[in-house]
């Protein structure tokens, strides 16, 4: 085998970590250390530029940054920590030669860490372990290091991968050290470790040009932008290239723009060569996993394997009587079709199919969070839509029905253990391990069908008075586990259209939780609360108090209304039943029956009974 040429002045690294273990803060610290980004007063977590990411404190879209240290360009790619964004992770680790595994010095490795780490080890990448937040009062860095070593063994890491360097850091305080007794003043220990332990990229500038497209972006001026790593050769502005599609077809195009990263900014460049991570424009029909090559030597690079979707939902334009009254700008099926087609092009984890002659769209993704982020994004862009209950996607293997199952880790206080175990038992969970953590909480690891987890997070938070922590990650497809318990409560359904009245809501709040407040717009078929008795109840939320000339002592005092539930997209998607929909507008999230009138619902009920 000929000796592989490596480019010594570049290092390509991905950062992987569980949600909230501090990887975005770590990138901020590295940008500050090398003076690559000028921070304004009070500015932080600049890698999480999307407003939804900032609100939720999670990374959803992978992003690139580039820093210069000792004349070496270090390209850092931030990856999502959540398994629902696995299609993002798959692509990112194809671009890099090493990974920084960031682990919280108290929590230790969590399920999402395991998911991304497994993908990295399969691609033979060498990790650097960064134990972050060692300044926490209850930090246990040595214990976490041995837990991480056990995880590597469990994931069949090679001897070379097991010999990983360990860096102790506090990204918030901007220091990193090789040993805890060293002075804590800067991030140099981490930067030096990246230089010495991450291999320079294999890159031969003399070979014909080859680049794998791992991400897409869009610009109103230059059109579609392909982002990826150049594996071989060089490219210059104005050059003609060949585009090899996933199915083997070859198109030709001309490079109109080349962009490189400096800090977080993309800056124009006249050329780029093997080893660089770049963005190039000029190819209108480029897709993720295509190869851009020299037109005289069209050799494709290996395709990116993309995980199958596990959950699907139906999207439809808003058909409620309040449609168009909440500031929505995009109200028709055509608008929704165009937006979903654009999403499917940019986000390869999403699939879109037409249902009912194009009136509705079946959207499949990697999980509830994956699809709820898409709905939230569309809502903020001014779309109004209705979405159905999330459904898992079953598979048939050798004539048998299989369903997706997830690995679930729940951490709760001791007094809630019994209730959680009972609830998991009802969902046919397979308990793998129960242990007491060093702070006295109970950590339960189990395998549960994805179907059974829809709605479980809300129930778990209610059981534990909001103190429980739950993490889940897709594991595999297993044999169908039979019927699962559904929603145990009924709903209160409005029988009229208008505005909710305080007196009517006051009379209903004993029946269960209320979703609306006095003065809110309502319509026939809208769900206004929970009926704890278990059956659906049609009610009149506009009932006024009958007035008399007599004043009764005490009864005319101010009515005490319990504040309604703050309606979130997550709760709405988990709560609804098969015959219900979530109405999403820029200003409101409402729950409704699929068939608004009581008569229609009875007809459909009788039809289903006969079938």
* d(C-alpha 256, C-alpha 120), whole Å: 33
Q: Is 79 annotated as a binding residue?
A: no
CATH superfamily, domain 210-293, is Translation factors (2.40.30.10)
DSSP state for residue 37 in the 8-state scheme: S
Paired tokens of 583? 């109405």
Closest CA to 85 of 338, 373, 390: 373
Q: Are 273 and 56 in contact (CB under 8 A)?
A: no
Q: Are 364 and 354 in contact (CB under 8 A)?
A: no
* d(C-alpha 186, C-alpha 169), whole Å: 10
pLDDT in tens, 385-408: 999 988 888 888 888 888 888 888
Annotate 258-274 with DSSP letters as a single string: EEEEEBTEEEEESEEET
- pLDDT tops 80 at residue 114: no
Q: Helix, strand or coil for residue 9?
A: coil
Count of helix runs (H) and strand runs (E) in the chain? 15, 34
Closest CA to 320 of 570, 517, 596, 587: 596
Q: Helix, strand or coil for residue 510?
A: coil
**Hey, CA dihedral for 502, 503, 509, 515, is it positive or negative?**
negative
Which of 37-41, 504-508, 523-527 is predicted least confidently? Answer: 37-41
CB within 8 A of 279, min separation 6: which ones? Answer: 217, 225, 226, 227, 257, 258, 259, 260, 266
Closest CA to 522 of 546, 493, 499, 552: 499
CB within 8 A of 251, min separation 6: which ones? Answer: 242, 243, 245, 283, 285
What's 172-207 look like in SS3? Answer: CCCEEECCCCCCCCCCHHHHHHHHHHCCCCECECCC
Neighbours of 102 (CB within 10 A): 27
* d(C-alpha 372, C-alpha 425), whole Å: 27
- pLDDT tops 70 at residue 605: yes
Hey, which CATH number is domain 490-545+557-610, 2.40.40.20, 2.60.120.10, 2.40.50.250, 2.30.110.10? 2.40.50.250
Neighbours of 506 (CB within 10 A): 16
Q: Across all residues in the chain, what is the average pLDDT?
A: 80
Q: Is 585 annotated as a binding residue?
A: no
Pairing of strands 175-177, 265-269: unpaired
- pLDDT tops 60 at residue 55: no
| Confidence label for 217 from pLDDT (cuts 50, 70 and 90) | confident
Q: Is 481 annotated as a binding residue?
A: no
Average pLDDT over residues 249-259: 87
Common-topology check for domains 10-197 and 210-293:
no
Q: Is 135 annotated as a binding residue?
A: yes
Residue 438: per-residue pLDDT = 65
Q: Is 22 annotated as a binding residue?
A: yes
Residue given tokens 């003043």 in the structure block: 185
| Confidence label for 592 from pLDDT (cuts 50, 70 and 90) | very high
Q: Is 21 annotated as a binding residue?
A: yes
CA dihedral angle for residue 206, residue 210, residue 216, residue 222, rounded to 10 degrees = 60
- The fold for domain 395-479 equals Alpha-Beta Plaits (3.30.70)
Residue 51: per-residue pLDDT = 52
DSSP state for residue 169 in the 8-state scheme: E
Q: Is 133 annotated as a binding residue?
A: yes
Paired tokens of 320? 């409620």
Q: Are 15 and 28 in contact (CB under 8 A)?
A: no
* d(C-alpha 130, C-alpha 483), whole Å: 44
Residue 582: per-residue pLDDT = 93
* d(C-alpha 573, C-alpha 570), whole Å: 5
Residue 315: per-residue pLDDT = 92
* d(C-alpha 78, C-alpha 63), whole Å: 5
Paired tokens of 331? 């109200």
Q: Are 68 and 195 in contact (CB under 8 A)?
A: no
Q: Is 132 annotated as a binding residue?
A: yes
Q: Helix, strand or coil for residue 345?
A: helix
* d(C-alpha 597, C-alpha 1), whole Å: 73
Angle, helices 456-463 vs 417-426, to 10°: value is 160
Average pLDDT over residues 182-204: 85
* d(C-alpha 194, C-alpha 242), whole Å: 34
Parse the chain into domains and list their residue ranges.
Answer: 10-197, 210-293, 395-479, 490-545+557-610
- pLDDT tops 70 at residue 115: no
pLDDT in tens, 70-91: 888 888 887 664 444 445 566 6
Q: Is 548 annotated as a binding residue?
A: no
Q: Are 104 and 85 in contact (CB under 8 A)?
A: no
Kindly report the CATH number that applies to the domain delimited by 10-197.
3.40.50.300
Q: What percent of the chain has pLDDT over 90?
A: 4
Closest CA to 277 of 201, 199, 222: 201
Which of 47-51, 119-123, 282-286, 377-381 is predicted least confidently? Answer: 47-51
Q: What angle do CA 79, 80, 83 make, to 5 degrees?
A: 130
Closest CA to 432 of 417, 445, 449: 445
Residues of 349-385 as b/e, b for ≥16 C-beta within 10 angstroms?
A: bbbbeeeeeeebbbbbbbbbbbbbbbbbbbbeeebbb
Average pLDDT over residues 568-588: 88
Q: Is 220 annotated as a binding residue?
A: no
In degrees and rounded to multiples of 5, residue 214 shows phi and psi of -110, -20
| Confidence label for 37 from pLDDT (cuts 50, 70 and 90) | low
Q: Are 361 and 233 in contact (CB under 8 A)?
A: no
Residue 59: per-residue pLDDT = 40
Q: Are 577 and 486 in contact (CB under 8 A)?
A: yes
Residue 298: per-residue pLDDT = 84
């Amino acid at each position: 085998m000929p000796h592989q040429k490596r480019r010594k002045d570049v290092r390509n690294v991905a950062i992987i970590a569980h949600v909230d273990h501090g990887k975005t803060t770590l990138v901020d610290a590295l940008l500050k250390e090398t003076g690559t980004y000028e921070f304004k007063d009070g500015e932080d977590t600049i890698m999480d530029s999307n407003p939804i990411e900032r609100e939720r404190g999670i990374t959803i879209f992978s992003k690139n940054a580039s820093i210069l240290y000792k004349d070496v360009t270090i390209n850092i790619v931030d990856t999502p920590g959540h398994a629902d964004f696995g299609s993002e992770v798959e692509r990112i680790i194809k671009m890099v030669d090493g990974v920084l595994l960031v682990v919280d010095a108290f929590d230790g490795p969590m399920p999402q860490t395991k998911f991304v780490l497994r993908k990295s080890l399969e691609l033979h990448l060498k990790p650097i372990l960064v134990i972050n937040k060692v300044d926490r009062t209850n930090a246990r860095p040595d214990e976490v290091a041995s837990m991480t070593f056990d995880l590597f063994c469990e994931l069949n890491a090679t001897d070379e991968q097991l010999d990983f360097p360990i860096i102790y850091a506090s990204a918030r305080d901007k220091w990193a050290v090789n040993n805890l007794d060293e002075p804590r003043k800067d991030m140099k220990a981490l930067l030096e470790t990246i230089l010495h332990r991450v291999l320079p990229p294999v890159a031969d500038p003399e070979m014909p040009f080859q680049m794998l497209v791992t991400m897409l972006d869009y610009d109103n001026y230059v059109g579609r932008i392909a982002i990826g790593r150049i594996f071989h050769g060089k490219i210059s502005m104005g050059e003609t290239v060949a585009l090899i599609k996933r199915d083997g077809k070859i198109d030709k195009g001309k490079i109109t723009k080349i962009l490189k990263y400096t800090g977080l900014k993309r800056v124009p460049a006249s050329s780029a060569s093997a080893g660089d991570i770049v963005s190039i424009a000029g190819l209108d029909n480029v897709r993720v996993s295509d190869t851009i090559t020299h037109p005289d030597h069209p050799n494709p690079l290996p395709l990116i394997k993309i995980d199958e979707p596990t959950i699907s939902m139906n999207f439809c334009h808003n058909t409620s009587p309040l449609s168009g009254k909440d500031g929505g700008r995009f109200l028709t099926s055509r608008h929704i079709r165009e937006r979903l087609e654009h999403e499917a092009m940019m986000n390869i984890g999403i699939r879109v199919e037409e249902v009912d002659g194009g009136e509705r769209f079946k959207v499949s993704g990697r999980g509830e969070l994956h699809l709820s982020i898409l709905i939230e994004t569309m809502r903020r862009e001014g779309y109004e839509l209705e979405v159905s209950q999330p459904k898992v996607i079953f598979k048939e293997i050798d004539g048998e029905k299989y369903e997706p199952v997830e690995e679930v880790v729940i951490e709760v206080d001791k007094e809630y253990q019994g209730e959680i175990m009972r609830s998991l038992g009802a969902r046919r969970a397979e308990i793998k391990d129960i242990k007491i953590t060093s702070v006295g909480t109970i950590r339960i690891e189990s395998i549960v069908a994805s179907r059974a987890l829809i709605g479980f997070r809300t129930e778990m938070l209610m059981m534990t008075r909001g103190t429980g922590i739950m993490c889940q990650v897709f594991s595999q497809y297993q044999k169908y586990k039979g019927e699962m318990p559904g929603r145990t409560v009924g709903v209160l359904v409005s029988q009229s259209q208008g505005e909710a009245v305080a007196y009517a809501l006051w009379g209903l709040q004993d029946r269960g939780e209320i979703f609306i407040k006095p003065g809110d717009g309502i319509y026939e078929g809208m769900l206004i609360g929970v009926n704890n008795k278990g059956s659906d109840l049609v009610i009149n939320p506009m009932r006024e108090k009958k007035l008399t000339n007599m004043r009764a002592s005490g009864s005319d005092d101010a009515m005490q209304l319990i504040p309604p539930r703050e309606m979130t997209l997550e709760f709405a998607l988990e709560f609804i039943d098969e015959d219900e929909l979530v109405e999403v507008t820029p200003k409101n999230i409402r729950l409704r029956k699929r068939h608004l009138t009581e008569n229609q619902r009875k007809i459909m009920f009788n039809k289903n009974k006969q079938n």
